[in-house]
Amino acid sequence: MSALSREPKILLAPLSLYRHILRVHRCMPAAMRAMGDDYVKSEFRRHKDIDNPVQIMGFLSQWQDYLVTLEQQTAPKMDSKEDSIANDPFVRSFNVPEGGWGKKLDEQRWDKLSDEQIGQLYELKNELKKSLGEEEIHSDKKQ
């Protein structure tokens, strides 16, 4: 374990995190963006009155991990040293991650999901397939 992984993660404030996620969604295909925006808005709305600090930290931590994943996946492949292109949302929107959007859930997280959460993930996966077409989503991924 490296020294960096033992350091506490600095979390963004809820409103900043929310806005940043919606900004990064602009780099996604239109159907995924619309579905993602709706989901993010509803989740943040449903959790706005949570008082438990452990739940708040878990919620913010998971959404921040999501943001980091999206930022990595939408980052354009840079052939030159020019950084201005990396921040251009128009250019970023043409990038499609090699392994598809999202990431595979590790076994530990997968085992912690309730039946209801697994059902929601399955429904989300099917909706994305309908919106984007079968070839754009890897069916073997647990998204």
pLDDT tens, per residue, the chain with 143 residues: 334 344 557 888 999 999 999 999 988 888 788 888 999 999 999 999 999 999 999 999 999 999 998 888 877 665 554 555 555 555 555 556 666 666 777 788 888 888 988 888 888 778 777 766 654 444 444 44
Identify whether 34 is part of a domain: yes
* Structural domain of 49: 11-103
Name the nearest CA neighbour of 36 among 20, 58, 55. 20
111 shares its domain with 89: no
77 shares its domain with 108: no
Q: What pLDDT score does 143 carry?
A: 45
Q: What pLDDT score does 75 carry?
A: 74
120 shares its domain with 63: no
- Number of domains the chain contains: 2
Residue/partner pairs of 89-96 with CB below 8 Å, 24 or more apart: 89/23, 89/26, 89/27, 92/27, 93/26, 93/27, 93/28, 95/27, 96/136
Q: What is the pTM assigned to this prediction?
A: 0.63
21 shares its domain with 83: yes
114 shares its domain with 93: no
* Separation CA 31–CA 99 (nearest Å): 19
88 shares its domain with 115: no
Identify whether 69 is part of a domain: yes
84 shares its domain with 117: no
Identify whether 141 is part of a domain: no
